[in-house]
Amino acid sequence: MSKTLQSGTMDPTKMGVGRSIAVLTSGGDAQGMNAAVRATVRVGLYTGASVYFVHEGYQGLVDGGDNIKLATWESVSMMLQLGGTVIGSARCKDFQTREGRMKAAGNLVKLGITNLCVIGGDGSLTGANQFRTDWSELLVDLVKAGKITKDEASKSSHLNIVGMVGSIDNDFCGTDMTIGTDSALHRIIEVVDAITTTAQSHQRTFILEVMGRHCGYLALVTALSCGADWVFIPEMPPDEGWEEHLCRRLADQRGRGCRLNVIIVAEGAMTRAGKPITSDQLKQLVIDRLGFDTRTTVLGHVQRGGTPSAFDRILGSRMGVEAVMALLEATPETPACVVSLSGNQAVRLPLMECVQVTKDVTAAMAEGRFEDAIKLRGKSFENNWNTYKLLAHINPPDVKSNINVAVMNIGAPCAGMNSAVRSAVRIGMIQGHTMLAVHDGFDGLAHGNIEPLSWTNVSGWTGKGGSMLGTKRTLPGKMMEEISFNINKFNIHAMVIIGGFEAFVGGLELVQAREKYEELCIPMVVIPATVSNNVPGSDFSIGADTALNTIVATCDRIKQSAAGTKRRVFIIETMGGYCGYLATMAGMASGADAAYIYEEKFNIKDLELNVEHLVQKMKTTVKRGLILRNENSNAHYTTDFIFNLYSEEGKGVFDCRKNVLGHMQQGGTPTPFDRNFGTKMGAKSVLWLTEKLKTCTRHGRIYANTPDSACLLGMRKRALYFQPLAELKEETDFEHRIPKTQWWLKIRPIMKILAKYNIELDTSEHANMEHVIKKMGHL
């Protein structure tokens, strides 16, 4: 699929004229399916196409009639925050038969629909591919049977299919995250947090069974996010004699003073011999061998429920846009594809290649090739497994490395900082280092507020918001003398600096002061952690996902209030400094009408245009508006100014209210993404420092003076990279404290299109078709 297919020659608002698209959800429901349906409908309409809902999945396709209905712009309003699927889903036996598929084909031909967007799991997508393969033969039979005319058959001679994977198990290969996975993790973690408090009161062992018949993703990420003692997943059954090992580990943890043990089991967990491992069986084992007070909780369908997380809404919305483009650009030669996210890039993958790799995983598990099964699941699954293995072996070596590593938090607090500290401390101890806590940022380093941390000091930290070490915004510049004195006094050999823009700038100041102070010639690594997501060198920073979910939850409530009162527009101010990430992403996840940010300049004409847009919107059935404004988007067009302007211009049509969200955006318990991201970053940073220390000795002592001995660990597109702080200077706008280029600006047009603005959508950047096998080159 070439990028230049329609760029430049085709107006995106005319791409779909005369075409019809049908959208259906099938198989098990997943949170975020509604976001995908909404985006498919609205982007379809934006391109000029007709869009149809198919109610009740494939059953509706077979039964036809009222099950296939024209969708309108307004019919997908208020859908974004609903879990499940509004258009219904059903398991369908009829569609598996040729007669059923023939009926379905007849229904589509009669309506002139030749583009089908299917949101579901691998079974649903395989069914869609089968339908496409049979299509021309089905039409021949329909003409023979007199159900359709030759003319109708020739007009619908080819069926295009695009799939989006909606499955809470994240069991589809080729996609980093399937729609619903993140929300399911949110539900699980809410339960784990609630259970943790009661278990600690009574010194209990809790066994939690989560969904995942064939895939251990939910269990694995849950185990990482809550620091579980053990996880059982289908891809990697435990070694022989695991019962001994498990009981020894639980007893060890109790011996270290932990009041709580957590074991996570995927429902499809089994032994190497292929026998199921159930939560009841584990409970019996722990009671019989250790006599611990043990409880089991089977989460079941709770995991499918509730409102979709911000990530799933954005994922669904971006996938919907990409799906419509893929359908309209498809030719009879292009294979049926799935649209997916890899890192933060939208990609298209041949559907059957993904299905094949997914089947290969099942085969590998059945044949006992467990290492292969984990590799086939993809890079992200493999990284999670490796991090879990590192952190689960809890016997720090008897031999000390004589290395002291200091850990500190810098800047404003954010959720997820503590999980990065915890994993850094534990990985360091496993490697024999002494881990030192520096309290209150660079201030604490200058004033000697430093103490060693033990293994149990950091237990339970993954689920705690804010900063347990204490954090300050002060930069080290004016305190270099004192800082070097304490690095020397406490014999610090390496530093992990976790924080926001100040952590990056502070790190740079330390590097620049190396010329004057030899004590600063030690390896250091900066881990970006800030709600603003404004640190150069990383697409995401720890804490931004939690803040985003907090904003979106508030916007949902405000929209409900506005929907009740009718004709009301809310103006909401978000944090972020000069960085518009939170305002933009929250705008997309909560269905805002506009999001004002510093990076995209706006003037009074734009504001008037937005007001006029809302005046028109009030004439429809959707009588409410939501406007987001980043706190520093414009010095003169303040939140009050915009509120006054909208109030005056909207007089008699709508009234306005304003909300400044403030510091609630920095609080709250971290989301599963931030816990997991923090855990991986903390672990990776200490492993890197350990390697660096081996190469940085001079005359028997540590001496690191090269640019690559002070790095920032960031996530870029699809992987984690260490980048020298000095190199990142070029990429930074220091005055406004933001990176010079930011990836998320490219997806802002999607928000505007979904809010019914007829703007230019650059179709030249669409994803090429990739190949799964090629992408998974490490097989």
Residue 589: what are its φ and ψ, rounded to 5°? -80, -20
Residue 257 Ramachandran class (φ > 0 left, ψ -120 to 50 alpha, else beta): left
Which residue bears the tokens 């099938």?
26
Is the CB of residue 659 less than 8 Å from the CB of residue 173?
A: no
Element (H, E) at 124: helix 122-144
Q: How far apart are CA 304 and CA 208, in angstroms?
A: 16
Q: Which residues have a catalytic role annotated?
A: 169
Task: Collect all residues with Cβ–Cβ distance below 8 Å to 396 and sequence separation of at least 6.
Answer: 429, 430, 432, 455
What is the token pair recorded at 545?
Answer: 């996902």
Q: How far apart are CA 85 and CA 117, in angstroms?
A: 14
Q: How far apart are CA 277 and CA 269, in angstroms?
A: 5
Give the chain's radius of gyration (CA, Å).
27
One-letter amino acid of 603: N
Task: Collect all residues with Cβ–Cβ distance below 8 Å to 597 and sequence separation of at least 6.
Answer: 580, 583, 584, 630, 633
Beta strands in 585-718 (DSSP E): 594-596, 624-630, 655-660, 697-698, 701-702, 710-716
Task: Collect all residues with Cβ–Cβ distance below 8 Å to 159 and sequence separation of at least 6.
Answer: 108, 114, 115, 116, 131, 132, 135
Q: What is the DSSP string of 707-768?
A: GGGEEEEEEETTEEEEEEHHHHGGGEETTTTEESS-GGGGGHHHHHHHTT------GGGPPP
Element (H, E) at 223: helix 217-226
458 secondary structure, DSSP code: G
307 secondary structure, DSSP code: P
Q: How many CB atoms lie within 10 A of CB 625?
A: 27
Q: Is the dihedral of CA 755, 756, 760, 765 positive or negative?
A: positive
Is the CB of residue 688 less than 8 Å from the CB of residue 525?
A: yes
